[in-house]
Amino acid sequence: MWMEQKAAVLKSRAWIELSAANLRHNVSCLRVLLPKGCELMPVLKANAYGHGAVPVAKLLQKMGIRSFCVATAMEGIELRKNGIGGTILVLGYTHPEQFRLLRRFRLTQTVVDFDYAQVVNQFGRAIRVHIGVDTGMHRLGESCENRNRIRHILSMRNLRVDGIFTHLCADDTDLPQDKAFTARQARAFSEVTKELRKQGQTPLKTHILSSYGLLHYPELGGDYARMGIALYGVLSKPGDLDRCPADLRPVLSLKTRVAAVKELEAGESAGYSRAFIAKEKTRTATLAIGYADGLPRSLSCGAGHVLINGRPAPVVGQICMDQTIVDVSDIPGVTPGDTAIVIGGYGQKIISVCDLATQANTISNEILSRLGTRLERIVV
Ligand SMILES: *Cc1c(COP(=O)(O)O)cnc(C)c1O
């Protein structure tokens, strides 16, 4: 759900606010870092890392961005149906039954390896593709060692090969072994692309950088930088943002409302399995958000907290599917309808996605990408 009217917020039980200003700011900061001739290719997979693919794509389109990545054909179709133009590259696997949709919605498909290229070719009608090259991640892509196979893919009759790319898998640290591995990946990719150029296949677009790649190895160049997490003003692990060469600002805040306030006597319990038992008189607030909205259940029993009136309210007992109980004993005057901040800031107090990820023992990317579709998304 996406509503542009601020009024919608007032009626919402739980919602995401997208800061258009921060997204614009991140785009300009990242553009400064781009190598010469390289364009941003925002990654809008998983509903734009939970932000809402359609509103984010619309904002980016207004900033002049004309190339996007998604993980699945269905994600690409959603963007097309909402008026997003330009190139949309599907980074993941598409079933042959859906090849006709690639054509119908003018999507560009990743060739995940040589065998898949043959399957795409057998479709019998032209499909636009970028060739994925595996330089060491061993996930998708034809092996960089199989130059003949890659050349063969280029000559397949029904493939319109617009680009070729690889993905770095150890570009997020400055450990010497990771730097050496990244250098090997980059060299392997550049050898493949150089050879293809020699064969007169020059117009092929190349790309190798994603968020950490652009921040740490901008010199690797390419025609596109596939920007995911950094574009949203977040990095995967704590501390990375402090060391980052760009002044990235978080685009997303997650807010919910107090549905009810209760007074518990000592010995009374709250929530499923009676996981919380009050040691003393305790005031709780029940929030209208739960794990079905993407709030990790591992934040239960005090592992996580929210901000109400700028003060921390720790989670009490087990997080439920649609509700979460927090302790507001120390926050005077909490009333049903009040706003609670799950991700975001209130004055000097901030709960970042990274804080939540650390508390839930995961990375920011997972927290964001699991934010539920039933949350309303509004652009502020
Ligand atoms: C998800 C993904 C990206 C974006 O990665 P970030 O680290 O979020 O920038 C880029 N390329 C590929 C192939 C991906 O799967």
Nearest-atom index, ligand 1, CA of 43? 4
CA of 284 to the centre of ligand 1 (A): 40
Rounded Cα distance, 112 and 117, in Å: 7
Assess whether pLDDT exceeds 70 at residue 76: yes
Please, where are the H alpha helices in the chain?
Answer: 7-10, 20-33, 45-49, 53-62, 73-81, 99-104, 114-122, 147-154, 176-198, 211-216, 353-359, 364-369
d(CA 343, CA 102): 36
What pLDDT is recorded for position 198?
80
Q: What's the gap between Cα 242 and its chain centre?
A: 20
Amino acid code (one letter) for 265: E
Q: Does 226 sit in the ligand 1 pocket, CB within 6 Å?
A: yes
**26 Cβ inside 6 Å of ligand 1:** no
Averaged pLDDT for residues 275-302: 98
Backbone phi, then psi, for 16, in 5-degree steps? -110, 130
The partner residues of 285 in beta bridges, in order of sequence, read: 261, 326
Structure confidence at residue 348 (pLDDT): 87
At 6, is the pLDDT very low, low, confident or very high (cuts 50, 70, 90)? low
Average pLDDT, integer, range 320-349: 96
Judged on CB neighbours under 10 Å (0-12, 13-18, 19+), 108 is: buried
What is the whole-number distance in angstroms between the Cα of residue 159 and the centre of ligand 1? 24
**Cα–Cα distance between 40 and 27 in angstroms, integer?**
8
Query: Could you tell me the pLDDT band of residue 136, with boundaries at 50, 70 and 90?
Result: very high
| CA separation for the pair 319, 239 (Å, rounded) | 28
Could you list the active site residues?
A: 45, 272
Atom of ligand 1 nearest to the CA of 230: 9
pLDDT category of residue 122 using cuts at 50, 70 and 90? very high
- Would you state the structure tokens that stand for residue 283, as one six-digit string? 């005031």
Q: Compute, in angstroms, the gap from residue 94 CA to the centroid of ligand 1.
A: 17
Integer Cα distance of 153 and 301 in angstroms: 54
Section 39-67 average pLDDT: 98
- Residue 242 alpha carbon to ligand 1 centre in Å: 21
For residue 2, is pLDDT > 70?
no
- Is the CB of 231 inside a 6 Å radius of any atom of ligand 1? no
Q: What b/e string do you get for 220-245 counting C-beta neighbours within 10 Å, with b at 16 or more? A: bbbbbbbbbbbbbbbbbeeebbeebe
If you take atom 4 of ligand 1, which residue's CA is the nearest one?
Answer: 228
What's the pLDDT at 40?
98
Calculate the average pLDDT of the chain.
95
The answer to whether 378 touches 2, Cβ cutoff 8 Å, is yes
Q: Is the CB of 227 under 6 A from ligand 1?
A: yes
Supply the DSSP symbol for 4. Answer: -
Digit-coded pLDDT (tens) for 246-264: 999 999 999 999 999 999 9
Q: Most distant CA pair in the chain: distance in Å?
A: 79
Helix (H/G/I), strand (E/B), else coil: 356: helix
Residue 25 CA to residue 344 CA, distance in Å, equals: 17
Residue of 284, 280, 282 lying closest to 320 (CA atoms): 284
pLDDT at 202: 61
Query: Ligand 1 in contact with 214 (CB < 6 A)?
Result: no
Cα(137) to centroid(ligand 1), Å = 13
pLDDT of residue 8: 58
pLDDT of residue 11: 83
Whether ligand 1 lies within 6 angstroms of the CB of 359 is answered as no
pLDDT band at 207 (very low <50, low <70, confident <90, very high): very high
Determine the pLDDT at residue 164: 97
pTM for the predicted model, two decimal places: 0.95
Find the 213 Cα to ligand 1 centroid distance in Å.
Answer: 10
Q: Angle at the Cα of 210 (from 29 to 87), degrees rounded to 5? A: 90
Q: What is the rounded CA–CA span in Å between residue 353 and residue 357?
A: 6
Residue of minimum CA distance from atom 7 in ligand 1: 211
- For residues 225 and 203, what is the distance between their CA atoms, to the nearest angstrom? 17
Q: Is it the case that residue 107 has pLDDT exceeding 60?
A: yes
Average pLDDT over residues 87-106: 98
For residue 1, what pLDDT is reported?
A: 45
- pLDDT score of 205 more than 80: yes
Per-residue confidence at 289, pLDDT binned at 50, 70, 90? very high
Task: Answer yes or no: is pLDDT of 5 > 70.
Answer: no
> What does the pLDDT read at residue 7?
55
Percent of the chain exceeding pLDDT 90 equals: 92
Strand 269-270 vs strand 276-277: parallel, antiparallel, or unpaired?
antiparallel
pLDDT tens-digit profile of 293-311?
A: 999 999 999 999 999 999 9
Segment 321-341 shows an average pLDDT of 97
**Distance, first Cα to last Cα, the chain:** 15
Query: In one letter, which amino acid is 251?
Result: V
Ligand 1, atom 6: closest residue by C-alpha: 228
Which atom in ligand 1 lies closest to the alpha carbon of residue 227?
Answer: 9
**Greater model confidence, 202 or 263:** 263
Atom index in ligand 1 nearest the CA of residue 45 equals 1
Which residues lie across from 86 on neighbouring strands? none
Q: For ligand 1, what atom is nearest to the CA of residue 49? A: 8
